[in-house]
Amino acid sequence: MIVGIPKEIKNNESRVGMTPAGVFELVKNNHTVYVQSGAGEGSGFFDEDYQQVGATILETIQEVYAISEMIVKVKEPISAEYPLVKKGQIVFTYFHFASSEALTRAMMDSGATCIAYETVEDEDGTLPLLTPMSEVAGRMAIQQGAKYLEKPKKGRGVLLGGVPGVAPGKVLVLGAGTVGIQAAKMAAGLGAHVTILDVNMKRLRYVNDVMPSHVVTEFSNEFNIRKHIKTHDLIIGGVLIKGAKAPKLISKEMLDDMRPGTVIVDVAVDQGGCIETTKPTTHEDPTYIINDVVHYCVANMPGAVPYTSTVALTNVTLPYVLKLANMGWRSACNLDKSLSKGLNIVEGEIVYKEIIEAFNLEPVLV
Ligand SMILES: NC(=O)c1ccc[n+]([C@@H]2O[C@H](COP(=O)([O-])OP(=O)(O)OC[C@H]3O[C@@H](n4cnc5c(N)ncnc54)[C@H](O)[C@@H]3O)[C@@H](O)[C@H]2O)c1
């Protein structure tokens, strides 16, 4: 198969759809790979790195789309890319169709087959191509939180690990899912005292089993949240109710109970946030202050660490890319039920129930 890796042109996106390691595997499997010049630079991979493993570099994005049978990228195509996607092409990337009718209509019109990373789903309901980004964001939440706890950043002036003779900082983690566990692990590693809350007892039992004793689990309810926000320095929002807006666990009025300089990192901002005062921010201007509480609510946290994010993402996408290239999308999806859940548009027809419902489209049988 001819596989194309275009440069991401969405604002502030430095990740790339495939690393040289991925190209190496494709070439080893007798596929031809075209990479747009400079596509990997933002993530620290240069044209020579791709050439060395057998890719051909093309200057323009138009050339990459025109020659490729499958496009592998990171973000959904933006309007400048719509006319480049062609009939019969496979596009494998994050799409989030339900949030854009324009994108949905453009991909239907193109006649392409669109396989969305975010809906590839394992048998146990987990989303293997979203997990690595939650892992990145969870770990990063503590790094950012620690930074904004510093006085010049308007925080309480607390060092999370403390020092001999001074108690460590206290971190409250809301949600013991992928984000929450990674955040708790990083905070514990720094020596902070960690309290982690969830409504799922299985998750709490797991955390209790695997974490050190300075990570304490408690059931998530309003009483416990009200109690802990008074004494914790850093609060991480990592709750998710699948397919729904995040529940608001901390109201505006509850900020009055927090000490000045408390820091909130609401990772769940992309689902509306679990704090009433959350509003999305960017890496250029990541924080704002309400009632002396610092809010960090960047909606694409992994974008700040493109090297790690690219490698983490392509580690999990590559096995699917190889299946698609080796067998074609029909056989690959017939054999791999997880991958088949990623099929959102097949040769221009929407096949994903939630998108059909979102835009009142006619259902199609495939
Ligand atoms: N901002 C970013 O850059 C970024 C990056 C990655 C993920 N995210 C977001 O982070 C959020 C968490 O993702 P995840 O992968 O950890 O999800 P997950 O499904 O692994 O974990 C969510 C956890 O929240 C728990 N939960 C639900 N209701 C709760 C409540 N009332 N109190 C406490 N816990 C509750 C669930 O039981 C679950 O354990 C999602 O909204 C995700 O989209 C944001």
Tens digits of residue pLDDT in 74-115 = 999 999 999 999 999 999 999 989 888 999 999 999 999 999
pLDDT value for 314: 95
- Residue 251 burial (CB count, 10 A): 14
pLDDT value for 243: 66
233 is known as an active-site residue: no
Pocket perturbation via mutation, ligand 1, pick of 140, 240, 282 by most ligand atoms within 8 A of CB: 240
- Residues in contact with 44: Cβ distance below 8 Å, sequence separation at least 6, in sequence order: 306, 307
The answer to whether 310 touches 43, Cβ cutoff 8 Å, is yes
pLDDT value for 364: 64
Atom nearest to 179 CA in ligand 1: 16
Please check the confidence at residue 117 and state whether its pLDDT lies above 70: yes
> CA distances (Å), 55 to each of 68, 312, 317, in order?
13, 21, 18
What span, in angstroms and rounded, lies between the C-alpha atoms of 235 and 171? 6
Region 212-232 average pLDDT: 98
User: What's the DSSP call for residue 262?
Assistant: -
* Amino acid present at 207: V
What span, in angstroms and rounded, lies between the C-alpha atoms of 216 and 202? 15
Cα angle, residue 95 at apex, residues 93 and 97 outer, rounded to 5°:
160
96 is known as an active-site residue: yes
User: What's the DSSP call for residue 283?
Assistant: S
Please check the confidence at residue 123 and state whether its pLDDT lies above 90: yes
Atom nearest to 271 CA in ligand 1: 41
Specify burial of residue 208 (Cβ count, 10 A radius: 0-12, 13-18, 19+).
middle
Pocket perturbation via mutation, ligand 1, pick of 94, 178, 179 by most ligand atoms within 8 A of CB: 179
Residues with a CB atom less than 6 Å from ligand 1? 133-134, 137, 174-180, 197-200, 203, 220, 238-241, 246-247, 249, 267-271, 298-302
Structure tokens at 211: 């974490």
- Residues in contact with 332: Cβ distance below 8 Å, sequence separation at least 6, in sequence order: 320, 323, 324, 326, 339
What span, in angstroms and rounded, lies between the C-alpha atoms of 366 and 360? 18
How much is the mean pLDDT over the chain?
A: 95
The answer to whether 207 touches 215, Cβ cutoff 8 Å, is yes
Q: What confidence tens digit (pLDDT) does each residue in 171-198 have?
A: 999 999 999 999 999 999 999 999 999 9
Residue in 32, 2, 29, 4 with CA at minimum distance from that of residue 18 = 4
pLDDT value for 313: 97
Q: What confidence tens digit (pLDDT) does each residue in 299-317 have?
A: 999 999 999 999 999 999 9
pLDDT band of residue 366 (cuts 50, 70, 90) is low
What span, in angstroms and rounded, lies between the C-alpha atoms of 333 and 313? 20
- Residue entry with tokens 């019109």: 109
Name the CA radius of gyration of the chain, rounded: 22
Please check the confidence at residue 365 and state whether its pLDDT lies above 70: no
Task: Give residue 238's Cα distance to chain centre.
Answer: 12
